[in-house]
Amino acid sequence: MSSHSLSYKHLRLLKQIMKNSILMLIFFLYGSLILNAQNTIDVKIINFASDEGVAQIGLFNAETSFLDKVYKGKKIKIKNQEAVAVFTNIPDGTYAISVFHDKNEDEKLNTFLGIPTENYAASNNAPSQFGPPKWKDAKFEVRNGEIVKQKISL
């Protein structure tokens, strides 16, 4: 009787330990998913001069690469002088957006004597007098699985 009851108690204890371990694993994985939630950035650009060409939209994830090295980019057709882009699965962090009206679809911001000949703008409608927009004016945060909306006017 004692060997059977010890085995039975032992099995019940093992089952309880396994059950608790599985529950802890589920809570850990669920918590990890919440902590690593991905974000969405909805971008609406308005006031294009025409529907000619495309909108070149760059998402930047660091001040050091702003206006130089795009983190994620999109080329969007313009319709009714507007363009809409959605960036999904964006990790928590600080970002900025730059957009220009690529009228001739050559995938670069055309200039004459160093002055842009195609319209451009940045997130937060950051000012661009006397040079390109600055990171400190264009940056914004995304956190905790949120959807951030940026309305940019050219």
Q: pLDDT tens, 46-75? A: 999 999 999 999 999 999 999 999 999 999
pLDDT of residue 130: 82
Q: How far apart are CA 75 and CA 46, in angstroms?
A: 15
Q: What is the mean pLDDT of residues 102-112?
A: 95
CATH 3.30.2310.20 fits 39-153, yes or no: no
Residue 107 has pLDDT above 80, yes or no: yes
pTM for this entry: 0.76
More confident residue, 34 or 48: 48
Residue found under tokens 């918590």? 31
Residue 28 identity: F
More confident residue, 112 or 33: 112
125-143 pLDDT tens trace = 999 888 899 999 999 999 9
Q: What percent of the chain has pLDDT over 70?
A: 76
Between the CA atoms of 131, 127, 112 and 67, what dihedral angle is there, to the nearest 10 degrees?
70
Structure tokens at 119: 């319209």
pLDDT of residue 114: 87
Structure tokens at 30: 């669920």
Would you list the DSSP string of 23-80?
HHHHHHHHHHHHHT--EEEEEEEE--S-SSSEEEEEEE--GGGTTTS-SEEEEEE-BT
